[in-house]
Structure 1
Amino acid sequence: MLAFFATIGLNANIASLRAGGRVVGIFLIVVVGLLVMQNAIGIGMASLLGLDPLMGLLAGSITLSGGHGTGAAWSKLFIERYGFTNATEVAMACATFGLVLGGLIGGPVARYLVKHSHHAERYSG
């Protein structure tokens, strides 16, 4: 299963993006914008609280979009290269927070969107 998920992006190319049309382009722009926003907010909040900006970066898109595995991988680099000794603990805490918050917010938001879409009758049980 790891091999499958690790190779999903290998087939990506510009032709595939063009074939997706405008919707894929808009999606790509929104996703990149949200990733940048997650990092900016994380680094900004860490700076405001007097914490290491690396902690803010770990609390940003590294763990909130990448999850526990990405956080663990990047924390090793932060420990070796920057001497951020508790990077693994911070990464695991932030990734867990992201999963819990995503579940608490994502479920009700999805229910609302399905209920109020013009396709609601298609999804009703």
Structure 2
Amino acid sequence: MYYAILAYHAEGIVESWSKEEDEALMTELLRINDRLVREKSLGPAARLGPTQKAVTLRGAGDGMVIDGPFAETKEQLLGFYVVDFPDIEGAIAAARELRRANPTAVYEIRPVLLYLPGASLETGGQG
């Protein structure tokens, strides 16, 4: 089954890290990434750019592009991992390892329901 591990953090804190602090964190996260790849448990993963450079499409018809996102929260979605484990316990274990590397981040683990016309929404991965 596929799971999304969504990484949230206060963007201002992340932006305050020195180049050396950021590189040290990325080295540790890439170590975890490489292990998950070797175990064939990691799919797409991305570090998202700053929300100040993001836009939001909303409204009727073709929608309107506006600055954003605008959310009443102290934490922003700064990245994600798609992992493949037989059950959510494997995804939780991976998120715990990521949290040990970045203890000030918050991780949300959510099942990914693939949309394939005619297929069950439970289709995916090993599960």
Instruction: Assess same fold via TM > 0.5.
Output: no
Larger Rg: 1
**What TM-score, normalized to structure 1?**
0.30
Say which structure is richer in strand: 2
Q: TM-score with structure 2 length normalisation?
A: 0.30
